[in-house]
Amino acid sequence: MDTAHRPDRPQIGVGGFEISQRAKDLVAEVLDSGRITSGPMMANFEKEFSRLHDSRYALMTNSGTSCLQVALAALKEMHGWEDGDEVLVPAVTFVATSNVVMYNGLRPVFVDVDPDYFTIDPNLIEERITERTRAIMPVHLSGLPCDMDPIMKIASHHALRIIEDSAETMFARYKGRTVGSFGDIGCFSTYAAHIITTGVGGICTTSDPDLLVLLKSLVNHGRDSIYIRMDDDQKSDNVFEIANRRFSFIRLGHSFRATEMEAALGLAELEQHEQSIRRRQELARRLTEGLSDLDTMLQLPKIRPECDHTFMFYPIVIRDEGGNRDDIIRYLEENRIETRYLLPLINQPIYRQLFGNLDSEYPVAARLNERAFYIGCHPAISNSDNEYVIEQFHTFFEETG
């Protein structure tokens, strides 16, 4: 389609957000407060986030990737893992999940995903476990929790740690319990287009106080945990001991801190999360209903029984009868509906270079890499936008017939 025929309408993006008046007020409060790094706003955000995710603690960082990086580093230190030890990672995820494994000197070992839900397939985990396996990283994809019961059982049987990559999924429950509360550490992203956004940012959850100490230190250059935040020296009678240790670095850490402005945005978004999740679910329900007559051509997202799906986006797989993915993606994009491939990992140029062609070992991932994509499903999408999306899918299949 030449640009002259492109519909004159705003694009329906895969992500979108609206900054509420409350968020603006909280950011203004920060700017007037004289405190722009980890202060009371962040403490409130962390407290509220941990409460909503059934965890004792939360720690804000500057990205979801930073959370994953320090989560692995903390567990590696705590449990004495060696370089070259292995971590199981789903074969469909964002590259960051397995990049951080390598950045921690560990080796990612991929596990294929479930063809219906696109999350790590618990039936395929045990065959990938070796003497060097130390952890599993289940990824709660696009708002849907993994099938956690069998994963936790395998982890406990083989004494493996669990890091939940929940970058795309907040608030969702599996059998009544929220994501981020099953494993040793849960890692969330608040990057633009995520379930709640702070621009850039991340937050990890844990219920283990020793892990929290390690995580805080790793996010703060490896500092002695006696002094992590600016007002930690106000909390003790022994100010000399703090003065003595506050510039002491006891491990190799990172500069992964976030700001009070980001925490203010996060706090405002947390306050309205129920409404926003309801809207995502409503949009997804309508898409599934409106597209269900095309189900010989399109595989639509299923919701695992006993789970919530909080729909960070809406994943679709083109069945063989639906033709090839390029045609529909071209049509949707030309008609102002933005798309993204569904998190291809093993076929990324850098992964092909590092691991070779793994397609025959991971047939479900290989198929999704060829045939899956997602579209937006967020509160900035109006009902009429959503109807337009449904209509465009129908027009495409009528035209290609």
Ligand X SMILES: Cc1ncc(COP(=O)(O)O)c(C=O)c1O
Three state DSSP letters for 121-161: CHHHCHHHCCCCEEEECCECHHHCCCCHHHHHHHHHHCCCE
CB of 226 to ligand X, least distance (A): 29
Identify whether the C-beta of residue 260 lies closer than 8 Å to the C-beta of residue 363.
no
Q: Give the Cα separation of 38 and 46 in Å (integer).
A: 11
**According to CB under 6 A, which residues from 318 to 347 bind ligand X?**
none
**Considering beta carbons, is residue 189 or 369 the nearer one to ligand X?**
189
Secondary structure letter of residue 119 according to DSSP: S
In the stretch 361-390, what mask flags binding to ligand X with x, by CB under 6 A?
A: ------------------------------
User: Judged by CB, which is closer to ligand X: 227, or 256?
Assistant: 256
Site for ligand X in 28-57 (CB under 6 A): none
User: Binding to ligand X by residue 191, rule CB under 6 A?
Assistant: yes
Nearer to ligand X, 196 or 389 (CB): 196
Interface mask toward ligand X for 65-104; x: CB under 6 A? x---------------------------xx-xx-------
The residue number whose beta carbon is nearest to ligand X equals 64
Assigned token pair, 33:
């407060």
Strands in 314-318's sheet, in edge-to-edge order, are 298-299, 314-318, 372-375, 340-341
- Number of residues near ligand X (by CB under 6 A): 14
Of 189, 197, 220, 310, the residue at the interface with ligand X (CB under 6 A) is: 189
Q: Which is nearer to ligand X, 93 or 339 (CB)?
A: 93
CB of 94 to ligand X, least distance (A): 3
- Find the shortest distance in angstroms from Cβ 190 to ligand X: 7
- Cα dihedral 58/62/67/70 (nearest 10): -110
User: Helices 260-271 and 40-52, interaxial angle, to 10°?
Assistant: 40
61 binds ligand X (CB under 6 A): no
Question: Which residues, 3 to 32, sit near ligand X by CB under 6 A?
Answer: none
Q: Alpha-carbon distance 180 to 163, whole Å?
A: 9
| Minimum distance of ligand X from residue 166's CB (angstroms) | 8
> Whole-number minimum distance, CB 343 to ligand X, in Å?
7
Q: For residues 75 and 139, which CB has a smaller minimum distance to ligand X in the complex?
A: 139
Burial class (CB within 10 angstroms; exposed 0-12, middle 13-18, buried 19+) of 186: buried
Measured CA to CA, the distance from residue 276 to residue 290 in angstroms comes to 21
Which residues touch 170 (CB under 8 Å, ≥6 apart)?
52, 53, 179, 180, 188, 194, 195, 196, 273, 310
Applying CB under 6 A, which of residues 39, 64, 253, 266 lies at the interface with ligand X? 64
Judge whether 171 and 178 are in contact, CB under 8 Å: yes
Query: Other CB atoms closer than 10 Å to residue 114's CB: what's the count?
Result: 20
- Smaller CB distance to ligand X: residue 322 or 376? 376
Binding segment toward ligand X, per CB under 6 A, in 61-69, 294-302, 351-359, 377-385:
61-69
What residues between 198 and 237 interact with ligand X by CB under 6 A? 202
**Nearer of residues 66 and 392 to ligand X, judged by Cβ:** 66
- 168 touching ligand X, by CB under 6 A: yes
Per-residue x/- mask for ligand X, residues 121 to 160, rule CB under 6 A?
------------------x---------------------
Helices (H) and strands (E) in the chain, counts: 13, 13
Other beta carbons less than 10 A from residue 244's beta carbon: 13
Task: Out of 112, 147, 165, 262, point to the residue binding ligand X (CB under 6 A).
Answer: 165
Rounded distance between C-alpha atoms, residue 142 and residue 148, angstroms: 16
Which one of 41-49, 59-67, 80-88, 365-373 is the stretch in contact with ligand X (CB under 6 A)? 59-67
Residues near 229 by beta carbon (within 8 Å), at least 6 away in sequence: 38, 39
Nearest to 384 by CA among 283, 284, 291, 293: 283
Task: Choose between 188 and 397: whose C-beta lies nearer to ligand X.
Answer: 188
Residues in the site for ligand X, rule: CB under 6 A? 63-65, 93-94, 96-97, 139, 165, 167-168, 189, 191, 202
